[in-house]
Amino acid sequence: SAVISQKPSRDICQRGTSLTIQCQVDSQVTMMFWYRQQPGQSLTLIATANQGSEATYESGFVIDKFPISRPNLTFSTLTVSNMSPEDSSIYLCSVELGGETQYFGPGTRLLVL
């Protein structure tokens, strides 16, 4: 497995503002992903963070709302832009290791007022 950290662990934000979430892995990984977990719900894939190129977004998620950076093989950021209360969720990064097995970070708990 890998040690995955996320910052911040939680935040309370005002609507209309933006928050950038960081994900750091202790080893180089090819595949990194960002998920959203709305309150009481399961996880939904937002996008695949590609190193050196634009992220690949899933249906229902767009780059203007969730810009993603992946400057190297151990780090990625997800920005939640122009937030509204509906963006209140847990945001999780994951990495693919050992062939089709994903490990998750601890998550960032976001509350938008």
Partner 1 sequence: GQQLNQSPQSMFIQEGEDVSMNCTSSSIFNTWLWYKQDPGEGPVLLIALYKAGELTSNGRLTAQFGITRKDSFLNISASIPSDVGIYFCAAIQGAQKLVFGQGTRLTINP
Least distance to partner 1, CB of residue 55, Å: 13
Residues 10, 110: Cα–Cα separation, whole Å: 6
Least distance to partner 1, CB of residue 45, Å: 6
- Looking only at Cα atoms, what is the longest distance across the chain? 40
Q: Which is nearer to partner 1, 20 or 44 (CB)?
A: 44
H-run or E-run covering 80: strand 75-80
Enumerate residues 40-99 that contact partner 1 by CB under 8 A.
Answer: 41-45, 48, 58-59, 92, 94, 96, 99
The helix/strand/coil state of 74 is: coil
Least distance to partner 1, CB of residue 112, Å: 19
Residues with Cβ within 8 Å of 77's Cβ and at least 6 positions away in sequence, in order, are 20, 21, 22, 23, 68, 69
Binding-site ranges for partner 1 (CB under 8 A): 1, 4, 31, 33, 41-45, 48, 58-59, 92, 94, 96, 99-107, 109
